[in-house]
Structures are given as C-alpha cells and as structure tokens.
Structure 1
C-alpha cells in the first residue's frame, strides 16, 4: 500500500478527499483524528504518527519492513490518543517503543529491555518499555521475584538484588504499575518478636537440634515463612533465642518449657571429639577440676572419661557443667605448632709435630778395643745396638731401616769382630688437619621432647683371662659396647615468635690410637646441656671450646749438648702444637602451616641430589652451615 493510500485512511473525519491536516476541527478547538488503516505498511504508519505527534521516532533496522498494519477506529483521537494507539499497535505486532531523552526508538520486544529507556513508570505511556527499581521493606526481594515471575511476559525481565533487597523490572509501563500494586499490598510490616528462653536443666544445643528435626523448614536458624520461628542456641549461657510472630513463637516457647525438665539432666551425657589435644590428658585434667567443684546434692557427680580409639572425651553432668566443659575444651583443643631444630657441630683441628736430633753410638762386641758408647736420645739406634749385642753374624739393612720408624739419614759400620760405630740424623715434620661438620635435625611438637641418636656401638675390652694358677688354660675376654656418635635431645616451648629450648647435645668419636699413641680404644666426648631463649629462624652459638696446646721437648747429653755447633750431635728437640676449635650452632624454625613443612621437605630432598664430595665448599656464613654444603 502506497503512502498516499495510508494518508487517505488517516484523513477521514467529515471531509471526504481532503488532506488529513486540513480536516481538523476549527483552529480554536483541539485537533482530532480518526484512524482507519487496512493492511498499511508499518514504516509508513510510524512516519504518519511522528508527523501527528511531532515526536522524533527512529525505527530499529531489525524491525521488518513487510509488516502490515490494520487499525479500525470510529472514535476521534487527539495527539496523545494517537500516540497510545500507536504503542498498542506496536505491542500487538511484537514491538516496543524505547525512549532516550526526546527520541523514541521502535525495537523488538526481546531487545527492548536492553536499550536505555525511562527509569520510572510515572508519566510513561502504558505501552512504553520502562525499567523500574522497587524497594521492599518487610519481605524478601527474592520472594517477590518468585511470586511475580509468572505475571510478566517472556520478553520482560525481573531480578532481585539481595544485598539492597530491591526488585528490578523491565516491562511495559502499564504492567509495571499493576505489579507495583501487588507489591504494595504484600509488603506489609510484620509482627515478629524476639524472646530469650533460659534453660535450667536441658542443654540448649540439644533442644535446638530436636526442634529443628521436628520441622526443618519452619524451625531452626534458617527457618522462613509466615509461621516460622528462628531458633538459635546460645551455648555460652545455655539459652535459646527465638524469633518469629507472636502466636507460633509462644507455641514453641511452651514446647521448650516442657523439654526443660530435671529428668533431662540425669541423662546429660555428651561425647566431645578432640582434633588436636590428647583425650587421656584432657580427661585427667577435667576430672581433677570436676572433683574440686561442688555439685547439687540431688544430682550425680559429674565425670569425664577418655575414649582413646576416637580421641574423644565422654562427659556426664548437668548442662551447666557440660557448658563449662565445652568452653574449656575449645581452648585446650587448639592446633599445636611444630618446631624444627637444626644443630651444627663444627670441629676444626690442626696438629703440628716437628722433631730433629742426631744419635751416635760405638762399641766393640769383643770388649778389646773400645767400651760401649751411645747417645740414644730418641731410641732409634737402640735397636741396632741390640742386634749387635746378640753376636749375630750380620744385620739385615732392611731390618735396620725398619727399626728407625721415621725419616733418617744413617752412616754405620757394623763388624762383629771389630769396633762398630754409627750415626743417625732423625728429622720428622707432621702436619694433621681435620674438619668435622655434623648437622643433626629433629622435628617435634610444641612442649614435646624429641631425641635423635646417630652413631655406632664400639666394642671396648673390659677384662681378659688366659691361664689359672694350676696351669689350666681357659682364655676368655669380656667386652662392653659404648655408643659413639651424635645424640640430640630437645624440648621446645613456643612463646609467640620466640622459643625457649631445653637442649642436651652430646658428640663423641673414636680417637685414632695410631696417631695419639694409645694402645686401647679411646673416645672423645663433648656434651652441652643448657636452656636458652631464641627467636624464630635465628642462628646462634650455643657454646664451644677453643683449645691451643704447645709442647716443646729438648733431649741432650749434659755439657756436650751445650757446646756451640758441635753440641747438635748430642741433643734432640721436639715441638708439638695442637689447636682445636669446637662450636655448637643452633637454628630453630617454627612450622605453623603444612606449606612450611612441604618447603622444608623439598629443600632437604633437593640437597640429597647435590650430595657430591668433590662439590663441598666452605660456608660463607653461619646460615650456610645448615645447607649441607
């Protein structure tokens, strides 16, 4: 249908064939139009309405051009009436009119709620799409949404904002006004009251659970509804807090009074599970407390028993006793921190031994020429003289060299038939250095003793027997074993970010008897016992020993050894210096979370992979002692 045809249908008010604007009633009266359209185009209809109402109307591109509009009206309409008729026609065809300032947009109903429009239904045309924010005061916004959702079309939108307790609706203005009326009639102030019911015999937590099991939806902390009663157990003072409308609340209060009877207390037994504390220790402490507290004469005495299989305590007594018991247990059953104790035992020793001497000897085994003469200052040449005195025909040079036992320079002439003589120059320098680093570590709970022992059991001969007085042979040897190694015993006490440590550290090792000159097993023992206060992750020195020994020995022949230059043939000197440094380092670390334990475990595991002797290096500081380098 052409634009002219639409105009012809819009211009019928009494003047046939005249233009629409020319058929208005006299200029002094409001203009009116009678709308009659048969299969007219929607876009042409929008254009004519825009001309009549003098409004700016935009058509969304998604509005189809092929829509045909049919309007039959015998009643003259003013500008507002034409505009409302226009909105009704759009709604019938699935379109809406959205307003932004003075500009109107024809859009599909499904997208009308997404385009900015009026944020208030007041003053809006009935079929205009608007968005309304409705606040409710006495009922829940979520309940309003559940009630009104069936009353809105599919293209409309309704949602609740729980934090502000408001309802947001996007729909035609006339439908929003209808929904507002419904909300006003339902959002009425309630008559809820709050009552505190003290219990004398029954336990508040038990009564609250019993009532909630009777009617889960109507009774309990999360109960909702017009006849619901919210019940909260205040176990601190054994009371019930009731909230609801007066009539149902009074009924529940009467039930509570019936449950609060003395018979309930006679069976007041509670099983309390412990998560961290030891049930046996807690039960012993609570029993001691219960025995010192006087109870009612008509009630059995309270008692507490430990059930180790579940790590729980079974308490029996009146509600006040159980209430006090739960408060104490909640404080005792707290997670205990753990402490990682790392101790580094560092021992550095350096030994220096310098000796220099000359020994000369001469003798005639026949006793004819020269008497025996010797300057055996170090005892080296004595072995040779013994062989000479035994009248052996010959002395093996290899045996003679072995008899010296140290670096020597010897000049000898050994003749069994004539005078024999010898001179030996003995010079020896020994340097020995040893570094010992032991880093025992142990993990334990707060206030719990932990002990770690790493070492060996060394056999030590304590007695021996070979023959009896009558010559009978029945030899035997008695042996005892001694622990040698590292022994660490520690009890930590956490005080905030500091720790008090009761520590016993013992380090022992077997001495090399070949170097020290002993014939039996000898052990070195270092023991440290102390109590200290240290911060978390702080490295400190517990104690130690610094030893510096120096011994100088001079052996000489009197008078002859004092002769300048030539006296060196008649004297021998030995200089020995021993230096030992022994220090105990300690670093405690509080392990408060599982992640702390995982980090420590991973660090130690990574250290295993780097365990190479050729990669060892000296630590740069005290912290490096605990890195295993």
Structure 2
C-alpha cells in the first residue's frame, strides 16, 4: 500500500537533530520495504517539515542548523520509490543552496558553498552517479593536458560553489559538484580526451543564440570545408595512420556555451561564424505576442485575421502537390500552419501565437486595419403630409313664425347633415339658430321679420325665412412624427424605436360550467393575448466614401392601429397599418436628402338631399348638398449626414445641438409666461362678471381668449418633437 505525504501532514518540530526510529534501532526497524511506493505533494511547505517527513520516510538521520529555512513546493502526481523521493529531496536542497554530506550514521545539511570543505563522498573512474548530491570525482586524462582542460574548458562551465582542480603528476581532474552535473562534464571530457593533432581548445559563451543550434551549424560548416579543401587546408586536419583529427564543437546547454577543439584555421572560422550567429534579434523569441488595439474591436478584427490565416492554410494545402522552386517557397508571406489568434475582450487586445516571421506579417496587417474610423452625425426628420382636399356645397333653410306672444316656431333644414331639427323651440334657441350663419353665406329674408323673445327677456327680430349657402374647403395638414439625431461610427448600424407594445387578442374560448352543489350554470371565457409592437422604427448604416460622400442604407417603418378596423374589433382584433421605406442613397456632407412618396389616395363623394325636392333642376340645390373629399398621404424623410473627422467637428455638432436645446427652453419659458398672464387675465374677467348684471357682462370674450392658449400648446408639442 503506497504512502502519501503532503503539505497538510501535521509535523511537529522538536529538535534540529532527527533520529528516525532511534539512532541505534535495528536496521529492520529503520528501513521499510524498498519496493514501497510513495507520493509527494507539498505546496509551500516549510523546509523543516520537509526534512522531518523525508527522515521518517527514508530512515535517515539529519543534522542542520537554523540557517536552513524557507518554503518549498513539490508537485508529483505519480508514485515513486523511496530512493527517487530522496533524489527529489536533494534537488530541493540544491535549489535552496544546501546539500547533504554523510558523516557516519548522520547526514549533515550544509550550504553548498562550504560543501567542498566537508567530507564529501569520492567517486572514482567506473562509478556512475546521476543524483543531486555533492560528490568529488577523479577523472584521469590520457591525451590532453588536465590543467588546460580545467582552466580553459571546465571552469567556465561550473558554478562558483563548485571546483575543478588539475593534478599534474597523474594528469587527473578533481571535480567537486553535484553528481548529475559531473556526469555531463565527463561526457564533454570524453569528447576532448582523444588522440588528435588539433592545436586549439576554447570555450565560447553565447549571449543570444542557442548553443545546440549554433554547434550544429558550425559542425556542418567545418565538415563542408574539410570535404572540399582549397589551397591545401585539408592536409592540416588529417593525421597519418587514420587518426580522427576533425574539429569538434560541443554544446553545453547549462551555461549556453560552446566547447571548441579545433585547429587554428578552423577555430578562426568558428569564431567568425559564432559572432555572426550570436546576435540580438529585432523581435522577441517568444511565439506568443499581445497586440493592444487602439481603435478597432478585438473580436471583429480577430475574426477577420483568422479568416485570412484559414485562407492561407487552404491555399497551402492545395499547392502541396505542385513542385515549387526554392524562390517560390520563400515568397509565401504567411505560413499559417501554427498561427492562432485569440481576442481578449476586457483589454481589447489580440493574443497571437505564431513564429516571429509570421507575427511581423500579421502585425503589419493589424496596423493597416487598426485605424481611427470617421463618425457620422445624422439628423433626420420624419413627417406625414396629409393633403385632404374636401369641398362642400349646399343650402340650409331656416324659418320662424310667431305663436301668440310667448315664443316662436322655427323650422331648420340642413342638407349637409339631413334634417337636423324640425319642431317647437323657445327663444333660448334663437342664438343657436343664428350662429349657423358663421360657416356659410346668410341670404336676406324672403318674408317679413318676426319679433321673438330672447333668452334675456328682450325682444329680437329674426327673418321669417332665410337661406344659408354652405361653401367650404379644407387644406393640407403636416404632422411631424419624429426628429431623431444619432451619432454612429462609419459602417456601424444605428437604430431608434419610438412606440408602445399593445396587447392583441389571438383566441377566445367559451365553455359552459356548472357546480355539483348547485343547479346553476354559466359560461367561462378564456382569452389568449399576444403583444405587438406599434412603433416608429428608423435604422440606418452610414458609409463614408471618398470625396466627403456618405452612403446611407436606410430602413424606416411605421406601424400603427387603423382608425377604421375591418370587422368587429372585439371579435377579430384591431387592424394595423404598416408603412415601410427601405432605400440606399448617397448624400454629400452636410446636404439634406429627402426620401418618401405617395402612400395612399382616398376619394369620397357624398350627396345629401330632400327626397323629390332635391331632384328638381336648378331649384333642387336649395334642398340638397354635395361633399367631395380627396385625401392623399405622403411619408417624407429628410436626412442630413455630417461627417465627424476629428474632435473639432464633434465639438461643433455638440455646440449646435446644445444651442437648439437652449432655444427650446427659452420658447417654453416664454410660452409659460404668456399662459400665466392669460390665466390671470381670465381670473380678473371672471371676478368682474360676478359683480356686473347679465345685461352688462358676458362670458363670450373670455371664451374667445382661450383660443390662443390652445395654439400655444400645439406649438409647444411640435417644438418638443423637433
């Protein structure tokens, strides 16, 4: 059963000296089965707790002082043996700058810088150890000078906490370092300790380029030069007897350096080649780059770039069957095989994963697309022009006859509306009868005047019979539906909707119901309702072209409830009217264009007459009237685009809109003042009417004074719409 140790295991530190299972306990109790597996999972564990856990796990005793402190994290998802766990422990100590030095049955934890002065284990030739513990190893050399190798090759490759000493009498290297690092150094030494005629040995440190890549290139160049000797160079690299004398370039990744053993000419060539290859690149070597956009939207631009990359991949796959020359292969600007572009919406940036070459191409495309777009301020005026040409022609007759001394009998005939009244009326109706002359032409009385008593008790004269010719005409009317002003970016859709959401009855279900407790029954009605938008919708998309022209794609729709519905509204629901205009126009900057046309025409002719009398030629017009109406409705849209190129244009538009708002407020304040003055005047007139007699005072004048107030209210509403 495997053991599992984690940072959550409670460990109590008692002493700096941990004796696992007793210092002199039997070996059978001090160690567990070697094949038992354990799992290490430490996150920010104290070093002291880690040492105690390893002591209990491996049965080793550790001694350390208070300089051993800090925290460590070990993530090991797979099980391992106890020996492997101990190697992990040594690696953690090495990272913290400590190592383990055996001392009898104890293991001292000491700083790495002083480890070489302690009793380190010594490894001789033939022994192999790849652990992270510090050891001393003896490496005898056969063909090269140990002092040269120590000072020229090994010293630059080891850390300052390690050491390498050449023992000249036996031509042996004494190296103190971790066992794993010494194994790597021995591999380099084995490549150098060969019989050859090479003259030079040098370590070249690299600053920017990778050691393995540069070593491979240098080896290929030297091989080509040796295979194709010129001017007698090849003879210097060949030794009699077939001994291998080829120059060697060995990479050492730990310090990113090259170990070179070559002839003088080859070493000069390698030095020159390395100086050309080890240069700082203009761009970062990382394949992941973040580009922060200034004007464009990251998601939209990312989608466009991904489509470009996808197209490049498709074209590359289609051309793989064809044979290309090297020049054609190098002409491809974007590889596209391993390019991924992800948009980060919160920062409005693009995360690009690609090679440095591809990133340069993509970055150039982004620079051309990430530009500040122009804006368009659109002023729109939507109005409905109703041309209602109504003509009326007719005759109204009225008469009076005295009945005693108490009143009069009037007969009224109005052919426009049929016979309105025919009967007895008293004197109070006389003013109403006479008021009909306002809308027509009053002819003279055909008979003598008759005296009747009016509402005030005074006697007044009216014609016994008079004729009223009704002749009128109605002109056009203009209704401003909306006057929106919207600011949007180039090629961005803008929309304004003004209206309401009304309920519509879609179905009605009536069921007969009855109760078991009573004999009564009834009808239960259920109604299904859905809602429909009744609104004015204006949607447009501007596109700025060359020459300060604006291409406008306009969509305008007006949905309303018809005044005259088809059928019973309670049964079939209301009738809706829909007026739609969709068009694309091109307008100059600041110029107004008008869109619209004839929506509908309605012609109606009505003749009203008295039977038989209205059919008499010529004289029949005294007993009939004719009404003819023709209604035409036009929906007009006035649109004025303004191109906003910079902040000055935007400030000018804002200032003009603010000025219109200020003028609107002033008009409202002026009208409010006039209304207050008119209200005060009406109150004064009312007070005077209370103190005067009916003959002297009248309410006609105050009523007439309210007409301008109605007009003022209408103007206020229209100004609000603008």
TMscore range, shorter length: 0.3 to 0.5
TM-score w.r.t. length of structure 1: 0.43
TM-score w.r.t. length of structure 2: 0.38
